[in-house]
A = this chain, B = another copy of it.
Amino acid sequence: MTDIQIAQSVTPEHIKKIAAELSIPEDKLEYYGNDKAKIPLNIIDEAKLKKSNLILVTAITPTPAGEGKTTTCIGLGDALNYLKKKAVVVIREPSLGPVFGIKGGAAGGGRSQVIPMVDINLHFTGDFHAIEKANNLLSALIENNIQSKSRSLGIDPRTVIWKRCMDMNDRGLRNIVAALGGKAGGIPRETGFNITAASEIMAILCMASNLEDLKERCGNIYIGDTWEGKAVYAKDLNANGAMAVLLKDAIKPNLVQTLEGNPAIIHGGPFANIAQGTNSIIATKMGMTLCDYTVTEAGFGADLGAEKFMNIKCRAAGISPKTIVLVATIRALKYHGGKSLKEITQEDVEAVRKGLPNLERHISSLKSFGIPIVVSLNAFKTDTEAEMQVVADHCEKVGIPIALSYGWEKGGKGCTDLAEEVIKAANSCSDKFHPTYSLDDSVNTKIEKICQTIYGAEHVELSNIAISQLRKYESMGYGNLPICMAKTEKSFSDDEKRLGRPEHFDIHIREFEIATGAGFIIPIAGNILRMPGLPATPAAEKITIDENGIIEGLF
């Protein structure tokens, strides 16, 4: 059975039943159909956060298909519930980019999925669309002010760094010249689109503590300079009120359920390679308010997702995970051991062994946070006993507990070993995480600490453009912001071809973006792009719907 067939074979509980089990009053919910609802922000109770166990699920460097972090996250949530713990899964909303591109949906897989999976993977409750509109309203207001005779702020169009966004893998929008066509079209200028998952509005939504904070952050967005060199912010355009109106519902977390009828909160969806890579602070705090165990994930490998989860999100939110689950797969280890994507389904103990340095490096990077680690080996049918034993032996050697997980095949019951290891680890955690850098470090130092401590790089090199951009942002007083690296997810390095555990490499910062509303400095490493393209054969071509509404090819 395909993921979509499994998802559609289960009749969801009415969402008010799921809410009732979380003690959310029925009349507080805003329903989107019978199986989705938004939860109001005033349910969050800061006093309860300290008692809750936050569990972060991250992964080794993934293959293009992903290693099943979301599946493990959902399976672990179900397993904790199966073991009579009160647990909720808190994950990100999927982007249409991957859905129509190469990766497909992001609602788990097999018996560990969140439902209604079709809705979740398409428009869901409209949060991405609202983010896009808020982003692009600001763009339209900028363009309009540049064009204005009577109310001009004197914006120098060459300095405008604010880009439009679209939730689509559209390489043609990456670099454009806009405002052509003569006087009525505006002042021509170079600009471009980011994918919505990489937009600052997405970042803001995921960093905001409430609607007022969101409105203020929107106002603080730096968009460019006047001809005299004075910085212009969104609030100077009176844009942030209307932006907040557009986001008034998107800021509320979405309640859905797993296939096993356990609660799941899905909210916000920044990618981890080009954005901060984790769901909203609001959603995580909501989970921690409602349950004893909150299982969440951060995108791609631990070098990207986990690093940002700690240094950006947890630091800002004042929370700390009790355990980090590091997902590995036999096939990814073989891939890092030098095998091609076609070969990784054949037994090859030696290739697994050769791939272990990737796992080892992630473990040593994660140890720097000082939080207990559990390795979860996400089982595939093609894995053999001998291959799995290699990984188990390695974990024993480095003193990290390991559990096999069968979330895809068996759902929560397939993840009870993992859940038990997680409970044990969380009980043993008495400290908060140690950040990789201090906010008081210089930007250069912050980037170096990430690259050295987490990636294992030697040096950081900045391009000439990057140097001048950084100098400017520091002179504007933004040197104390945290760092949100944009780097390929396919390697610890900035070269996607260097699999396994690369050594003796430098990180090359091509340019910087700044997100003064979200509060990040974004160094862009190597060739990573903030607007992806579609692959040679896009998934979109196989997706269709028949006259009875039956969808095919979505996964």
A147 at the interface (CB under 8 A from B): yes
A139 at the interface (CB under 8 A from B): yes
Residues in B whose Cβ lies below 8 Å from that of A173: 164, 178
The size of the chain A interface, using a CB distance under 8 A, is: 82
Task: Report whether B245 and A144 are in contact in the complex, using a CB–CB cutoff of 8 Å.
Answer: no
Residues in B whose Cβ lies below 8 Å from that of A537: 151
Task: Report whether A177 and B176 are in contact in the complex, using a CB–CB cutoff of 8 Å.
Answer: yes
Tell me the residues in window 115-164 of chain A with beta carbons closer than 8 Å to chain B beta carbons.
122-123, 126, 129-130, 132-133, 136-137, 139-141, 143-144, 147-151, 164
A64 at the interface (CB under 8 A from B): no
Chain B binder among A302-310, A434-442, A545-553: A545-553
A370 at the interface (CB under 8 A from B): no
Residues in B whose Cβ lies below 8 Å from that of A368: none
Residues in B whose Cβ lies below 8 Å from that of A151: 536-537
Identify the closest chain B residue to A241 (Cβ): B544
Chain B binder among A31-39, A72-80, A319-327, A506-514: A31-39
Which single member of B149, B185, B545 contacts A171 (CB below 8 Å)?
B185
- Known interface pairs A238-B541, A241-B544, A533-B184; A137-B168 also in contact (CB < 8 Å): yes
A437–B44 CA distance with the chains assembled, in angstroms: 63
A348 at the interface (CB under 8 A from B): no
A179 at the interface (CB under 8 A from B): yes
A540 at the interface (CB under 8 A from B): yes
Q: How many copies of this chain?
A: 2
Tell me the residues in window 209-250 of chain A with beta carbons closer than 8 Å to chain B beta carbons.
210-212, 215, 237-242, 244-246, 248-249
- Give a binary string over A457-490; 1 marks a CB under 8 Å from any B CB, 0 the rest: 0000000000000000000000000000000000
A260 at the interface (CB under 8 A from B): no
**Minimum CB–CB distance for A215 against chain B, Å:** 7
Residues in B whose Cβ lies below 8 Å from that of A541: 141, 237-239, 241-242
- Known interface pairs A130-B123, A176-B177; A136-B540 also in contact (CB < 8 Å): no
Identify the closest chain B residue to A123 (Cβ): B126
- Give a binary string over A167-193; 1 marks a CB under 8 Å from any B CB, 0 the rest: 111111111111111001110001010
**Minimum CB–CB distance for A349 against chain B, Å:** 35
**Minimum CB–CB distance for A175 against chain B, Å:** 3
A223–B140 CA distance with the chains assembled, in angstroms: 27
Identify the closest chain B residue to A249 (Cβ): B123
A43 at the interface (CB under 8 A from B): no
Chain A interface residues (CB < 8 Å from chain B): 30-34, 96, 100, 122-123, 126, 129-130, 132-133, 136-137, 139-141, 143-144, 147-151, 164, 166-181, 184-186, 190, 192, 210-212, 215, 237-242, 244-246, 248-249, 529, 533-534, 536-538, 540-547, 549, 551-554
Task: Report whether B186 and A178 are in contact in the complex, using a CB–CB cutoff of 8 Å.
Answer: no
Identify the closest chain B residue to A179 (Cβ): B172
Residues in B whose Cβ lies below 8 Å from that of A237: 541
Which single member of B164, B181, B241 contacts A175 (CB below 8 Å)?
B181
Residues in B whose Cβ lies below 8 Å from that of A140: 100, 168-172, 534
Q: A143-B171, A239-B541 given. 11 additional CB < 8 A pairs?
A: A31-B33, A32-B33, A122-B245, A123-B129, A171-B179, A174-B181, A175-B181, A175-B185, A180-B190, A184-B533, A245-B544
Identify the closest chain B residue to A128 (Cβ): B129
A542–B143 CA distance with the chains assembled, in angstroms: 18
Identify the closest chain B residue to A554 (Cβ): B245
A133–B31 CA distance with the chains assembled, in angstroms: 23
Task: Report whether A141 and B534 are in contact in the complex, using a CB–CB cutoff of 8 Å.
Answer: yes
Identify the closest chain B residue to A146 (Cβ): B172
